[in-house]
Amino acid sequence: MLTPAPVIPHNLEKKLEAAVKPFQREYDTLTLGEARRLLARHDFRMPILCSLHFHGNGALKKVNIRENPRLQKPSCWQFAANLTIFDQPWRAVRELRSPSLRWIVDGQAKKHREDGWYQTHQQSDEELDGLLQAMPGFGPHADLNIQSASMLMLRLMAEKEREARVNESNHQRLKRLARPVPSELPAQMNVEREIALRWAESETAKGYPPCVYYPFEFLPEEERMVVAYRDRHYRGLA
């Protein structure tokens, strides 16, 4: 039931830090009174609009941050967040990591559906509702990591499938699901599963069985191992 692993740039935190440092320096001369007038109603964190820019090969090129004290709605290429400006850059990077991951995963989930990847269509309405009830909610303030980003991808796909069923006729659904599925995605996932299971078997033999965060225990064991592998692989530990 897992969807393809979200593609998360390995230099995400490095690029976030490169954008955060000069942004914070812009407020070095701000007086306490000015800070209070500007940020008191925002719990002394600066509302921002952030955008991620990628190279043609998909690697993250740069991160742009601009202040948004009037809480303007982000454009389709932006996301809104709040940033601590009177603190160490690492704290601001941590604040931006989750909304960055959410924006990346949301965009990739949309692309999968546009490309005809409707994996959740195989489930009945009851199974789909049961899946959504079992999965974590990932609210706007949830702290995301690689494992939860993978689960968020699945949740977004399941939510869109349920939404589509509500708003389409049986004929429209059959027509939608008749589209050819991108053959490379199932192949990539099969290869990933085989590698992940070999890795899990090796780690277990060493006495270090892989573990997955408890909110994901509803997944079958093999899929839990794949999620654990994705996390370790991203961090260069597998």
Residue 85 lies in a domain: yes
Strand ranges of the sheet holding 46-54, from the earlier edge strand across to the other edge: 60-67, 46-54, 79-83
Question: CA 41, CA 142: separation in Å to the nearest integer?
Answer: 22
Q: What is the pLDDT of residue 238?
A: 67
In this structure, the chain runs to a length of 238
Say which residues have a Cβ less than 8 Å from residue 160's Cβ, sequence separation at least 6: 109, 113
Question: CA 227, CA 123: separation in Å to the nearest integer?
Answer: 21
Digit-coded pLDDT (tens) for 20-55: 999 999 998 888 888 888 888 888 899 999 999 999
Q: What is the pLDDT of residue 178?
A: 79
Q: Could you tell me the pTM of the whole model?
A: 0.88
Question: CA 158, CA 118: separation in Å to the nearest integer?
Answer: 9
The last residue of one of the domains, among 62, 95, 128, is 95
Give the residue numbers spanning the domain of 43. Answer: 12-95
Digit-coded pLDDT (tens) for 117-132: 767 777 888 988 998 9
The last residue of one of the domains, among 95, 111, 139, is 95
Residue 141 lies in a domain: no
Tell me what the mean pLDDT of segment 79-95 comes to.
93
AA letter at 35: A
Which of 85-99, 123-137, 181-195, 208-222 has maximum average pLDDT?
85-99
Residue 206 lies in a domain: yes
Residue 207 lies in a domain: yes
Say which residues have a Cβ less than 8 Å from residue 63's Cβ, sequence separation at least 6: 15, 16, 18, 19, 50, 51, 52, 53, 100
Overall number of domains in the chain:
2
Q: What is the pLDDT of residue 80?
A: 95
